[in-house]
Amino acid sequence: MTQTLLPTPTTVHWGYFDATLKPVATIDPGETIVIDSVSGSAESRPTQHGMTVRPELDAVLQAVKPDLGPHILTGPVAVRGAMPGDALRVEILDVKLADDWGFTLFKPGMGTLPDDFPYARTVYLPIDTAERVIDTTWGIRLKAQPFFGVMGVAPSPATGRASSVTPSYFGGNLDNKELGAGAVLYLPVSVEGALFSCGDGHAVQGDGEVCLTAVETGLTGTFKIDLAKDAKLDAPYAETKTHLIAMAFDEDLDEAARVALRRLIALIVARTTLSDADAYQLCSLVADLHVTQLVNRSKGIHAMIRHDILAQSKR
């Protein structure tokens, strides 16, 4: 029987990852779990006619206080047998829109162009969950491409409580639009049980997330979570049906690009008969480097290469 984890004051943590959190659900490796999320704050709660605020969000806003970051995260979920040195294999089976509204905002001093836009602005957007369409106030309709901006496991105890804002080795605020339904995310395990949490639902986002947010909304995700024993990962990576994806984060975007490229080269070498020099040159021909986001303190780069290319030199 598949467990369903709803966002309540006892099943969410707001703004942080922490190795000392107690799991709110426990699953076996290979088990599927449905996780529901809410997004927003008292300030971003809509009052417009036709936008339905779920009681789950109001209950969380009334009972839970944010700490370090703005993201309401559902979890953590413990995976039996997960130990430091392993990796979680998080297969994202489905992502559904849970709310008929979303919002996007920017704030003074934040975003990619803070000097150009030194004021606050919030825009609310109706979402047709059946048609998976977002109506903007600018007369433009957007096709929803939902994904969870934040997916991560507990950091090591030595790290302490970590903000949900800054992506890191344990995942967190990845904001990678490639991680929708059908993708598989690999996360390094630092504590027993791994302690997986997710939130920060996005109805749609461009690479860069330039103003500060995507279309922030509530989502319902179906995840099949398995273990890769003794994987010894030092950072998250992902796979889609078409691509292998390495990720890196740094305050310096150039350094994030260098690290992402090194990680992609290492993944290619591990899966093919190519040398590191071969892989480096192959990346220059067919790999794509994308700016994941520019707004999470540590900026993100993800480097992608197609599976069908690597299959020609498979180990």
Asked if residue 274 and residue 222 are part of one domain, the reply reads: no
Spell out the residues 6+ positions from residue 125 whose beta carbon is closer than 8 angstroms to its own: 101, 102, 103, 104, 134, 135, 136, 137, 203, 215
Do 79 and 165 lie in one domain? The reply is yes
Note whether 224 and 252 are same-domain residues. no
pLDDT at 49: 79
Q: Point out the domain boundary residue: 228, 263, 290.
A: 228
CB 305 within 8 A of CB 240: no
Is residue 91 situated within a structural domain?
Answer: yes
Q: Provide the CATH number for the domain around residue 267.
A: 3.10.28.20
pLDDT in tens, the chain (315 residues): 899 999 999 999 999 999 999 999 999 999 999 999 999 999 999 988 789 999 999 999 999 999 999 999 999 999 999 999 999 999 999 999 999 999 999 999 999 999 999 999 999 999 999 999 999 999 999 999 999 999 999 999 999 999 999 999 999 999 999 999 999 999 999 999 999 999 999 999 999 999 999 999 999 999 999 999 999 999 999 999 999 999 999 999 999 999 999 999 999 999 999 999 999 999 999 999 999 999 999 999 999 999 999 999 998
- In terms of domains, do 95 and 201 share one? yes
The pLDDT, as a whole number, for residue 177 is: 98
212 and 255 co-located in one domain: no
Please report whether residue 236 resides in a domain.
Answer: no
Tell me what pLDDT residue 285 has: 98
Picking from 192, 230, 200, the residue whose alpha carbon sits closest to that of residue 20 is 192
Question: For residues 58 and 222, what is the distance between their CA atoms, to the nearest angstrom?
Answer: 23
Check whether residue 18 and residue 123 sit in a common domain: yes
At 47 the pLDDT is 85
pLDDT of amino acid 305: 98
From 191, 227, 203, 12, select the one nearest 123 (Cα to Cα): 203
In a domain? residue 233? no
Six-digit token pair at 122?
């919030």
Give a yes or no: residue 237 inside a domain: no
**Same-domain pairing of 81 and 191:** yes
- Name the domain boundary from 169, 198, 228: 228
Q: Taking a C-beta distance cutoff of 8 angstroms, is the pair 93, 224 a contact?
A: yes
User: CB count, 10 Å around CB of 183?
Assistant: 20
Burial environment of residue 273 by CB neighbours within 10 A (0 to 12, 13 to 18, 19 or more) = exposed
Pairing of strands 25-27, 72-79: parallel
Judgement on whether residues 254 and 220 belong to the same structural domain of the protein: no
**Which tokens is 282 given?**
């192959």
Ramachandran angles phi, psi of 247, nearest 5°: -130, 150
Q: What is the pLDDT of residue 48?
A: 83
Structural domains counted in the chain? 2
And the tokens for 69? 């970051």
191 within domain boundaries: yes
Is 196 among the domain residues?
yes
Q: Give the closest residue to 175 by CA, choosing from 272, 298, 16, 293.
A: 293
Q: In this structure, are 212 and 64 located in the same domain?
A: yes
Range of the domain at 13: 3-228
- Is the same domain home to 39 and 153? yes
Domain boundary among 160, 195, 228: 228
* 183 and 275 fall within a common domain: no
Q: So what's the pLDDT on residue 315? A: 84
In one letter, which amino acid is 4?
T
* Residue in 147, 144, 141, 145 with CA at minimum distance from that of residue 219: 147
Retrieve residue 234's tokens.
């030092």
**Do 24 and 158 fall within a single domain?**
yes
* CATH assignment of the domain containing 187: 2.60.120.580
Contact 290, 226 (CB under 8 A): no
pLDDT of residue 101: 97
pTM of this structure? 0.97
Alpha-carbon distance of 58 to 102, in angstroms, equals 15
Residue 235 in any domain: the answer is no
- Quote the CA–CA distance of 287 and 264 in Å, as a whole number: 9
Torsion angle, CA of 51/152/192/25, rounded to 10 degrees? 10
For the record, the structure tokens of 116 come out as 């150009």
- 171 Ramachandran zone, left/alpha/beta (phi>0; psi -120 to 50): left
